[in-house]
Amino acid sequence: MSALCLYDYELDENCYKVRLLLAALGLTFRKIAVDMFPGAEEMAPSLLALNPTGSLPILQDDDLTLHGAEAILLYLAHHYDPSLQWLPRTPTLFGQVAMWLQFATVQCGASVLARRQSLFTAEAGEIGLLRQSKHALRIMDDHMTLREFDGDVWFVGTSATIADLALFPAIALSRDYGVEHEAYPALRRWMRKIRHLPGFLTMPGIPNYY
Amino acid sequence: MSVWYPVALARGLEPSSACGTRVHGQEFVVWRDQAGASHVWEDRCPHRGMRLSFGFVRGFHIACLYHGWQFDAAGQCRLIPAHPDITVPKTIRANRYPSLERLGIIWLQLPGETQDELPSDANATTEVRSLTIEAPPDRVSAEFQNRPLARIRVGGLPVIAALQPLSNTETALHLVIEASVGATEQKLVSVWGAALRTRAEAS
């Protein structure tokens, strides 16, 4: 049995994505709490030795060390999900999951920065970051609007994938950086579906009651 | 005199859910109870002013996320979890507004300078989507000969376009096809609406 170990910060949405998948897969793991704020512990030499980019999450599985939430999601789904639900292998679905994972990293990156500014500095999120965040959420809402017409409820395919988990925090935590859910009706409905996934976990900013 | 404002697509609001919206900057919560009745209230808990749209629906009550105070469909507070045994005073009430569902849309009635009548529900409807447009209501309504509620044709389909003035700079456009149609037609009108959004925001 391998020993999974997650370097985690409770308020970090990228760590949250990984916690969601670990829970959905029912995997046991050791959690090492990293004091990102105010400690900036992710930049300490011991953690930079594991991840030179100075970000969380970091996953260790025996001798393997990975950083980057989307990469970790890919690894966990590929290695620990025999059902193949979370990372479908048919070329079309695989490609679409990969596309949305990249979207979660790149386009939703603005929402990570906006939220970090709002929560951990005295300033509100920069206007430019808010605009980029809203643009990404609009693309997501447009996508799910079209999906709903065909009776689909997930970003890709007919069941939840790691794409859904990777995209979830950008909208679920958007109020942290001052963006309401008003403009995204399809994402509101999709978020309710996410909440019913097996093992679903909340985090600060995502209430238990909804 | 009173004006009807569209605030959401009816089917888009699932039973036991709530969402926040605005009319001319004023905040409202639109919620649907478990039996399917919709309600439009001021988006404010009378206890601490928390937005009720952050809260949750349980049965026939909406509850505030802050302290769990629960309000029935009449707006009356029915439960204060910190004091579960007290009879809640009649004066603790949420502020309700008249609302109804017609043409596949939830409408809110507010005092106004004109006397609006909503058209009747004669035909079958297929709901498409609500778009939030980052453009002033005047600019968006110019697309519809300045009408807040327009019956137009999109790709040969009869479409209802209902405009909601969210604020001075944002407008919601609610689109419904006035016929019983399928996904192909919904997508056509949806994409048309997204193009209108782009146009209105660019002008």
Domains of chain A (ranges; CATH) run 4-80 (3.40.30.10), 91-195 (1.20.1050.10)
Residue A116 has pLDDT above 90, yes or no: yes
Closest-CA distance, A189 to chain B, in angstroms, reads 8
- With CB atoms and an 8 Å threshold, state whether A142 touches B194: yes
pLDDT-based confidence at residue A122 (cuts at 50, 70, 90):
confident
Architecture of domain B120-202: 2-Layer Sandwich (3.30)
- With CB atoms and an 8 Å threshold, state whether B130 touches A185: yes
Closest-CA distance, B182 to chain A, in angstroms, reads 8
Residues forming CATH 2.102.10.10 domain(s) in chain B: 4-99
Residues A99 and B100: their CA atoms lie apart, in Å, by: 41
- Residue among B9, B132, B186 minimizing CB distance to A182: B132
The 10 Å Cβ neighbour count of residue B54 is 20
Burial class (CB in 10 A: 0-12, 13-18, 19+), A7: buried
> What would the two tokens of residue B70 be?
């629960």
The whole-angstrom distance between residue A161's C-alpha and the CA centroid of its chain comes to 12
Closest-CA distance, A209 to chain B, in angstroms, reads 6
> Over the stretch B136-184, which tens digit does the pLDDT of each residue have?
999 999 999 999 999 999 999 999 999 999 999 999 999 999 999 999 9
Residues B37 and A138: their CA atoms lie apart, in Å, by: 29
Residue (of B22, B186, B14, B172) closest to A190 by Cα position: B14
**pTM recorded for the entire structure:** 0.96
Residues B36 and B85: their CA atoms lie apart, in Å, by: 29
Burial class (CB in 10 A: 0-12, 13-18, 19+), A151: exposed
- With CB atoms and an 8 Å threshold, state whether A207 touches B129: no
Dihedral of CA atoms A106, A108, A113, A115 in degrees, nearest 10, equals: -170
The 10 Å Cβ neighbour count of residue A144 is 21
- With CB atoms and an 8 Å threshold, state whether B19 touches A150: no
Residue A118 has pLDDT above 70, yes or no: yes
Fold topology of B4-99: Rieske Iron-sulfur Protein (2.102.10)
Residue A66 has pLDDT above 80, yes or no: yes
Report the pLDDT value the prediction gives residue B123, as an integer from 0 to 100.
Answer: 87
Q: Which residues of A touch B187 (CB under 8 A)?
A: 146, 149
> Over the stretch A84-115, which tens digit does the pLDDT of each residue have?
999 999 999 999 999 999 999 999 999 999 99
Report the pLDDT value the prediction gives residue A1, as an integer from 0 to 100.
Answer: 53
Between the alpha carbon of residue B157 and those of residues A120, B102, B186, B194, the distances in Å are 50, 19, 10, 16
Partners of B4 in the β-ladder: B109
Q: Determine the residue of chain A that is closest to B21 in CA distance.
A: A182
The 10 Å Cβ neighbour count of residue B138 is 12
pLDDT-based confidence at residue A125 (cuts at 50, 70, 90):
confident
Q: What is the mean pLDDT of residues B63-71?
A: 94
- With CB atoms and an 8 Å threshold, state whether B14 touches A182: no
Q: What is the mean pLDDT of residues B17-35?
A: 97
The whole-angstrom distance between residue A116's C-alpha and the CA centroid of its chain comes to 15
Closest-CA distance, B127 to chain A, in angstroms, reads 10
Length of chain B: 203
Residues from A contacting B (CB-CB < 8 Å) are 142, 145-146, 149-151, 175, 180-183, 185-186, 188-189, 192, 207, 209-210
**What is the secondary structure of B110-160 as a DSSP string?**
EE-SS---PPP--S--EEEEEEEESS-HHHHHGGGTT-SEEEEEETTEEEE
3-state secondary structure of A28: coil
ipTM above 0.85, yes or no: yes
Residues forming CATH 3.30.70 domain(s) in chain B: 120-202
Closest-CA distance, B111 to chain A, in angstroms, reads 23
Residues B41 and B23: their CA atoms lie apart, in Å, by: 12
Q: Determine the residue of chain B that is closest to A144 in CA distance.
A: B129
Query: Which secondary structure element, helix H or strand E, spans residue A8, and what is its range?
Result: strand A4-8
Report the pLDDT value the prediction gives residue B113, as an integer from 0 to 100.
Answer: 86
Q: Report whether A185 contacts A127 (CB < 8 A).
A: no
Q: Which residues of B touch A145 (CB under 8 A)?
A: 129, 190
**Which residues are within 8 A (CB) of A45 and not within 5 positions of it... i.e. 6 or more apart?**
none
Residues B54 and A209: their CA atoms lie apart, in Å, by: 9
Task: Select from B7, B54, B64, B188 the residue whose CB has the most chain A CBs within 10 Å, as the one to mutate to test that interface.
Answer: B54
Residues B200 and B157: their CA atoms lie apart, in Å, by: 22
Residues A76 and A26: their CA atoms lie apart, in Å, by: 11
Buried b (16+ CB within 10 A) or exposed e, A154-192: bbbbeebbbbbbbbbbbbbbbbbbebbbbbbbbbbbbbe
> What would the two tokens of residue B151 be?
């019956």
Report the pLDDT value the prediction gives residue A188, as an integer from 0 to 100.
Answer: 97
Residue scoring higher pLDDT (B201 or B114): B201
